[in-house]
Structure 1
Amino acid sequence: MIRTSLPVKKALKPRRCRSCGNPYVPISSMAKACSVPCALDLVRQANARKEARAKREERAATRVAKEKLKSRADYLREAQTAVNAYVRLRDANEPCISCDRPATWGGQWHASHYRSVGSNPGWRFNVLNIHRACSICNAWKSGNLTEYRPRLITKIGLERVELLEQESPVRKYDIEYLKRLKKVMNKKARRLERRIEQRKEAA
């Protein structure tokens, strides 16, 4: 039998415009927008996503390149910075470990080592050996150890202080260890920051 007419094209079901969200009847199955302005908006959105993705990929590539250029000393500094930041947050409500300056003192706060890093590298990252101190004691008075020790005994106990005063263990910090340490301490610092913010909100 010979057809004498073209088949009737079924109307497409209504759908929501991906740009404005309004319902519309598409003119084709490929249509995603209800109008030309909305179609142009979708194109702009797609281009913005591509640009953002390209920037993320570029930043990731830059980070990888920088990692390859880092020395062990760079990783050592980064790990120490992370540990120090955690200590300052941990002791945020405590006075200077070496003097009577209160936690509310408006100057700069440091993370002060009781046993110095140079002579006791094995205690470098031990958080019992590092405490929040004012910049005056730490930077200008070399830690002000005469006052540091009795306050440290009060804080952590004589047994632990005497342990720190023994010769530090020999440690060789490899790069993988330093990376893990930095990651762990940054995570702990973020947790402390959240707790501090929650206390402030509850006060």
Structure 2
Amino acid sequence: MTAFRRTTCPHCRARLEPGQRIHAECIAPWADAQAEKAQRAQAKKARAAAKVERASIRARKEAIKTLADLKREAQTALNRWIVQIRDADKPCISCGRHHQGQWHAGHYLSRGAAPQHALNPMNVWKQCAPCNTYLHGNLIPYRVRLIELIGLEAVEAMENDNAPRKWTREGLIEVRDTYRAKLKELKGRTC
């Protein structure tokens, strides 16, 4: 079996004389190039380790979140989806006007009075800030328009449903991730 014989310089790629392994003038630049290559490999390894560390920190932070934290994140994701995607081109559900002001995700049955419906998309609709804040939801016209949208039976069923809901970590994470994914998908299409 014959040994491998290099025929070109590893640095400049020019032909070598028989018996040569590298040109004499290429030794220093080749060594510098090898040192730079080693530094790049070390930097890449450090970036990969930092990425793993960040993922570990993210997982630990997710593990220590309380149910209240997860419910707040799920509510925020649902509210953003409603205001920015589902009802983006619709007027305020209470007063019926379009304006350039701030929009809220207004709950027909308040989160305090009916926490079981806080994450129900049929209970949350786009509402202008004056109706939601200063008129405390402006509920009478809200109910009229809600009946037009989802029907009297659905509104009455929601009003009469007082069964408590126990949210689990997995359920809240699923709601949060579902609405975040919907928001991301639909925002990606419009951009």
Category of TM-score, reference length = shorter chain: 0.7 to 0.9
TM-score by length of 1: 0.74
Amino acid at match of 1:69: I
Q: Runs in 1 of length 4+ with deviation above 6 angstroms?
A: 22-26
Q: Given the alignment, which residue of 70, 91, 96 partners 1:95? A: 91
Using CA pairs under 8 Å that are at least 6 residues apart, name the structure with larger relative contact order, 1 or 2: 2
Matched, 1:63 2:58: yes
1:137-176, aligned counterparts within 5 Å? 137-176=131-170
Q: How far apart are the structure 2 equivalents of 1:113 and 1:82?
A: 14
3-state SS of the aligned residue for 1:165? Answer: helix
**SS state at 1:173 partner:** coil
Gap change, CA 1:40 and 1:144, over 3 Å in 2: farther
The answer on 1:131 being equivalent to 2:134 is no
Q: Which residue of 2 aligns with 1:193?
A: 187
Q: Give the one of 68, 74, 83 matched to 2:78.
A: 83
1:133 shift after superposition: 1.1
Cα separation, 1, equivalents of 2:13 and 2:186: 48
Which AA in structure 1 matches 2:62?
A: E
The number of residues matched between the two structures is 179
The amino acid of 1:164's aligned partner reads M
What secondary structure, in the 3-state scheme, does the structure 2 residue paired with 1:98 have? coil
Task: Report SS of the residue matched to 2:161.
Answer: coil
Matches within 5 A, 1:28-39: 35-36=30-31, 38-39=33-34
Distance 1:168 1:35 in 2: 77
Deviations 1:88-130 (A, max 9, x none): 121111111111331xx32221111111112212211111111
**Aligned-partner Cα distance in 2 for 1:148–1:136:** 13
Residues 110 and 132 of structure 1 are in contact (CA less than 8 Å); yes or no, is this contact kept in structure 2? yes
Bigger proportion of residues as helix: 2
Q: Shift of residue 72 of structure 1?
A: 1.3
- Kept in 2, the 8 Å contact 1:79–1:179? The answer is yes
CA–CA distance in structure 1, aligned partners of residues 171 and 7 of structure 2: 61
Within the candidate set 105, 109, 117, 1:115 is matched to 109
TM-score by length of 2: 0.78
RMSD across aligned positions (CA): 3.0
Q: Distance in 1 between matches of 2:146 and 2:176?
A: 25
* CA distance, structure 2, for counterparts of residue 54 and residue 181 of structure 1: 32
